[in-house]
Amino acid sequence: MDDSKARKNHTAPVGLKLLVTIVARQKGEFYADLIQGFGANMQVVLLGEGTATTETLQLLGLTDKDKAVILSVLRSEKASEALDTLARKFETVRNGKGVAWTVPLDSTIGVAVYRFLSNNPEGAGTLWNTRTK
């Protein structure tokens, strides 16, 4: 095994983040597709309802309380990229205002699940990959 390959296989596994995105319901699919582009293999769209008071809603010119809540699991470096892009889209997309944040994930069970969530089918950069050689 050459040196660079060995080093690659011994880097620490990448961290995962849970990205929570709340947008208007009709924009749910648009944002889910956008986030999928950052390597999110597992996403769930939940139907939620905003609770802002009517005064606040009128002040912001919002009429619709129905929301889509998108939960996505992303590698941490992709999560920050996705957040930057989302922040831009929230400003520019018509009727695309929203809020998004990330929560660090501590653990997952199963190598296959981890590879799936981290969008890493070869398991590159994971310790266990060395054992299969």
Q: Which residues bind other proteins (CB under 8 A)?
A: 17, 20, 22, 46-52, 56, 67, 69, 79-80, 83-84, 86-87, 90, 97-104
In terms of CB distance, is 4 or 63 closer to other proteins? 63
Q: Name the minimum Å distance from CB 67 to other proteins.
A: 6
In terms of CB distance, is 4 or 92 closer to other proteins? 92
Q: Name the minimum Å distance from CB 125 to other proteins.
A: 21
Whole-number Å distance between alpha carbons of 16 and 70: 16
Residues in Cβ contact with 18 at an 8 Å cutoff, skipping those fewer than 6 apart: 71, 72, 73, 102, 103, 104, 105
Whole-number Å distance between alpha carbons of 11 and 126: 7
Whole-number Å distance between alpha carbons of 89 and 71: 17
Q: Name the minimum Å distance from CB 91 to other proteins.
A: 8
